[in-house]
């Protein structure tokens, strides 16, 4: 359960051109601005999503 002031975003990822969307990443943005992630997908894809969202520029 997220705390008050947090936001959760679930991003689904396809690695086969959109045939299947079975990879996912959950980002939790806390009230103080910290971003946490949890996933069941390969870290290479997660790192790509982090770069895409600009979260690697902290």
Tell me 40's DSSP state. S
Residue 40 in any domain: the answer is yes
* pLDDT in the model for residue 1: 60
Q: Which domain holds residue 22?
A: 7-53
| Beta bridge partner(s), residue 12 | 24
pLDDT given for residue 11 in this prediction: 84
The single residue listed with the structure tokens 């870290």 is 43
Provide the pLDDT for residue 36. 85
Decide if 58 is inside a domain.
no
The verdict on residue 11 lying in a domain is yes
- What is the reported pLDDT for 42? 56
Residue at 2 is within a domain:
no
Number of domains in the chain: 1
Alpha-carbon gap, residue 43 to 12, rounded angstroms: 14
pLDDT in tens, 1-58: 667 778 888 888 887 888 888 778 888 888 888 888 876 655 566 677 777 777 777 5
Does 49 map to a domain? yes
Q: Is residue 29 part of a domain?
A: yes
- pLDDT at position 31, please? 87
pTM of the model: 0.51
DSSP one-letter string for 9-26: EEEEE-SSTTS---EEEE
> Is 1 within a domain?
no
């Amino acid at each position: 359960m997220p705390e008050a002031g947090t936001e959760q975003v679930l991003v689904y990822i396809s690695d086969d051109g959109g045939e299947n969307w079975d990879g996912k990443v959950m980002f939790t943005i806390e009230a103080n601005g910290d971003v946490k992630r949890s996933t069941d997908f390969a870290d290479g894809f997660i790192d790509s999503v982090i770069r895409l969202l600009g979260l690697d520029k902290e």
